[in-house]
Amino acid sequence: MQATEKSFYTPAEYLALETTADYKSEYIDGLIIPMAGGTTNHNRIALNLSSALNFAFRDINYEVFISDVRLWIPEKRIYTYPDVMIVAGEPAYFENRTDTILNPQVIVEVLSQSTETYDRERKFAAYRTIPTFREYLLVDQTSILVEQFTKAGEKRWIMQEYDETDEQISLETVPFQIKLTDLYRKVQFEAIEPALEENPATKTG
């Protein structure tokens, strides 16, 4: 993934371009970075989780959004598309745009080779500036491994790891559980993820 040719864009310019673009891009403090397409494993995991969440929340006041809905992180000037977001109550829209929300409580990212470092480090740090954000799941798509980060206090997060097929993930901030066998249903670990160019957002220096 590479930034587009112009060196700097305003948020308004990004939104205007994104409205008519053939593919989705992230916006990171002036840079527009095209997002790579997902693998079948990535899609299976995100669909398994979002479907289970949507069914579990059918009669309670939580909403599930998948990667078509954009997130605006004002403190870091980032527009991004998390794989799955959970909102408690009503979504708060940025400037009344129903394609962009501000208030996720739980965010889930399915890791890929090109974005894993970014998802673990800079993106997690950006997410932590969101006042409503309380829980973060990182899901490996090449092996059974889920890392759960739960906010336990100001600048304090607790991590729980799941890597056994008979384990069940219990979210701490919303009423939801899922077995790893259901999360990884139909995932084919022998499939090799294609090598992708490095995400410029992950570069340092």
- pLDDT computed for residue 203 by the predictor: 46
Q: Return the percentage of the chain with pLDDT > 90, whole number.
A: 81
Residue scoring higher pLDDT (122 or 7)? 122
Q: How confident is the model at residue 36 (pLDDT cuts 50, 70, 90)?
A: confident
Domain 38-186 homologous superfamily, CATH: tt1808, chain A (3.90.1570.10)
What does 52-105 look like in DSSP terms, one character per residue? Answer: HHHHHTTTSSEEEEETTSEEEETTTTEEE--SEEEEESSPPEETTEEEEES--S
Q: Where are the domains of the chain?
A: 1-35, 38-186
Q: What is the pTM of this model?
A: 0.89
- Region for residue 30 given its phi and psi (left: phi exceeds 0; alpha: psi -120 to 50; beta: otherwise): left
Q: Alpha carbon of 191 to those of 29, 31, 162, 172: distances in Å?
A: 35, 32, 21, 32
